[in-house]
Structure formats: structure tokens, C-alpha cells
Amino acid sequence: MMMPIEQTDVPSGNIDLGSGNPSLELLPIEILEQASANYFSAGDRRTLQYGAERGNGYFLTALAEFLSTSLQFDVPTNVLLTTNGASAALDLLCTLYTKPGDLIFVEEPTYFLARRIFSDHQLQVETVALDKNGLDVEQLEEKVNRTKPKLIYTIPTFHNPASVTLAQERRERLVYLTQQYNFLIIADEVYQFLAYDTTPPKPLAAFTNQVEQVISINSFSKILAPGLRLGWIHAHPKVIKRLAECGLLDSGGGLNPFASGIVYYLIQAGDLAENIAKLKGVYQKRLAAMNKALDQYLPEAGYLIPHGGYYFWVRLPGLDTSQLRVSAQKYGIDFRPGTMFSSKMGLNEYLRFSFSYYNAPQIELGVKKLAECLHEGI
Ligand SMILES: Cc1ncc(COP(=O)(O)O)c(C=O)c1O
């Protein structure tokens, strides 16, 4: 049998509306080929050496410039550290800032694979509610008053799976609370750049120059290609220094110098900004197609229309979506049931659809077939 190449293998003919992956045709092989050609023709063997702990200086300088332009605040290079993506950043932060048994807070719902990382580190997880304006900071305050968490993990912009964005006043309140009660914020901001019909508030990364407790993690997975395993941490220079001094980066010579050496050329050529603009155009159309299909085929579904990111977080009142999934899978349709995103086995009536993987006609067909399965009891 062939060894798999991709993480998720959707049997041909099936439609997995739950997959949070970009579709293959959106992975920009051409601009990476060009950047790689530039990288190799430069012939700089230092980029194949053990790298600097914080990452390749050319790459970090180009990334800092890109971020300053696109986020519209000054991002100096000393607030950035190269990682193998947001997952690796989260794992590294858990290693350095927590010990088994520590209490941490996550949103309910939260990104299900972050929950796996917290479980690897044997952390105790408490939840804080979300509403249409993001994390409920009042509930957070009430909870931090009673128990002292080590950190809170939050996805402030275009949340996975709920798609909501934390309102500006709440961002300020959250940052105030971390200073007042001295816990860390890990802000997972991987969807920040995928805004379709709105300008989200500045990322929590914008607070890191004043506040050491805020650490932002980000990634090229959603704006270029997950297979690069490349991302960055944006934090106060003191935090960056501490991270750069850890054993992993010292022994390994930084994270991913090879991919970052190539992506440097891609950013310099203006191709990152162009790729993001292209993705936004494609995803916006897919979002509209999913919204239309839900309206047409699943009128009982309750959801907020996303303004960015990848996901529709759908409520089907009175239904257990884990049970629905069993029959949907037999019918060749899949999605992610709400319980996967719950840290207390709740959210049974919810499911997550993604509009990143399929084109508009496939999205329509997938929603239509799921509705048939549901309405006709197939
Ligand atoms: C909120 C969130 N964080 C992190 C990741 C994974 O990021 P990376 O590929 O950079 O590890 C994802 C991917 O789905 C995600 O949705």
C-alpha cells in the first residue's frame, strides 16, 4: 500500500465539508518555485547551516516589513521569532511556560487540535464562553478572580470554529486583565489576514510592545502553504529573548531555516501580498456559495455569516450532530461535529463547515446532500 502524502484523505466521490485545509489548486507552487530558484541561485551556503536561534535575519527583516505594511503599525525585527507554524509555537510555549497540572483557560468552543497539544502537556483546561463579539471578558474576569490560570489561549480574529472576532474594547479589557491578574495570553492569529468584507481590529500582537504577557502566534499555513511548516511568534523583545535561549533552538539552530530562506525571496518579490489578495477573492466567493446553499437547503440552520477565515459554525436545533455525522458519512458527506470543539463534551447541536477546500459547485452539492440525508432520513 502507498504511504499517505496528505494528512486528510477524502475518498474520491465524497465531500468533506469539515476539512480546514486549503484546496490543492490554491497551494502556490509557481511562486514557491520562483522563490526557490532565487534562493538556490544566490548560492548562500550559510542558509543551509545551523541557523540563528530567532531565525534567518533576512527573512525576519522581510517579514517585519510585510507586517508593518499590512497591519499598519510598526513591527521591528526584535519582536519576531521564526517557528514551524502555530502548532509548534503553541507546543513550545507550553513547554516553556507551563508544567503538568497547571490550569489554563480556553474558549468554548476552541480549535480542537490545540486541545490535543494542551492534553500532551497534561494541562488542566477550564472554559470561557464566546458570543458574537468574541471571548466573554466579563466571564473571564469573574473566573480569574476565583482561580488563577497560567494562561488563556484565544483565537481573537475569525475564530476557528466560531468565526467571530473579538471586539476592540474587549481586546483592551483582556490585555488589562492579564496585567491585573498576571496570566499569559496566547493569541492564535492565523486567520488575521483573511478578511473578506471587513477590516478586523488590530491583532493582539499590537499590544506586545507594551505588555510582556501577550504572545501572538501566526503562520504561513493559511496564507501560503501548510506544508512549509513555517510561522512566527510576535511578542515583547524580552519574551523573544527568553524563547531564543531555550535548549531546542540552541541545539537545533533555530526553526526551519530552509523554508524561511525561500519564503524570504517570495516576500521580497511582493508575492505574499499578492497571494493573500488572490486567496481572499477565491474564499469570498466560496463563502457566498456556502451561505446561499445553507439558506436554500438547510433553512433551519442558525449561524452568523463569517467575515473572514475559513468556517461556518452552524447550529441545528434539537439535533445531535455526532449522530448525524454517522449517517452523513455513509452517504459520502462529512463535517466536524460541535463536540470536537468542546472542552466539556457539549455543543452537540453545532457543526463546523469549512469553505476553504471545495469550489462553489462542490460546496453547493455537499450542503444539498447533507440536507437530503437529514430531511429524508437517509
Ligand atoms: C486556530 C488555528 N491555529 C493553528 C492552526 C495550525 O496552524 P499551523 O499549520 O501553523 O500549525 C490552525 C489550522 O487549522 C488553526 O485553525
Residue 45: is its pLDDT beyond 80?
yes
The confidence score (pLDDT) of residue 182 equals 94
CA of 194 from ligand 1 middle (Å) equals 13
The confidence score (pLDDT) of residue 359 equals 97
Look at the block and give the residue holding cell 518579490.
Answer: 269
Amino acid of residue 251: S
C-beta separation of 165 from 158 below 8 A = yes
Residue 5: is its pLDDT beyond 90?
no
Question: What is the pTM assigned to this prediction?
Answer: 0.97
Q: Which of 92, 158, 160 to mutate to test the pocket of ligand 1 (most atoms within 8 A of CB)?
A: 160
Write the CA distances from 345 to 208, 226, 322, 336, 337, integer angstroms.
34, 29, 11, 14, 11
Over residues 156-173, the pLDDT tens digits come to: 999 999 999 999 999 999
Rounded to whole angstroms, how far apart are CA atoms 24 and 180?
45
Q: What pairs with residue 302 in β-bridges?
A: 315
Q: Which of 92, 158, 163, 190 to mutate to test the pocket of ligand 1 (most atoms within 8 A of CB)?
A: 190
Residue 1: is its pLDDT beyond 70?
no
Atom index in ligand 1 nearest the CA of residue 89 equals 11
**Residues, the chain:** 378
Read off the pLDDT band of 378 (50, 70, 90).
low
Residue 240: is its pLDDT beyond 80?
yes
Atom index in ligand 1 nearest the CA of residue 219 equals 10
Rounded to whole angstroms, how far apart are CA atoms 70 and 48?
30
Read off the pLDDT band of 3 (50, 70, 90).
confident
Residue 13: is its pLDDT beyond 90?
no
CA of 86 from ligand 1 middle (Å) equals 6
Over residues 314-360, the pLDDT tens digits come to: 999 999 999 999 999 999 999 999 999 999 999 999 999 999 999 99
Rounded to whole angstroms, how far apart are CA atoms 200 and 45?
41
Residue 2: is its pLDDT beyond 80?
no
Rounded to whole angstroms, how far apart are CA atoms 135 and 159?
10
Read off the pLDDT band of 281 (50, 70, 90).
very high
Read off the pLDDT band of 9 (50, 70, 90).
confident
Q: Which residues contact 51 (CB under 8 A, 6 or more apart)?
A: 253, 254, 257
CA of 329 from ligand 1 middle (Å) equals 25
Residues touching ligand 1 (Cβ under 6 Å) are 20, 85-87, 111, 155, 160, 188, 190, 219, 221, 226, 231
CA-nearest residue, atom 16 of ligand 1: 160
CA of 281 from ligand 1 middle (Å) equals 21
CA-nearest residue, atom 14 of ligand 1: 20
The confidence score (pLDDT) of residue 353 equals 98
CA of 310 from ligand 1 middle (Å) equals 11
Separation of first and last alpha carbons in the chain: 33
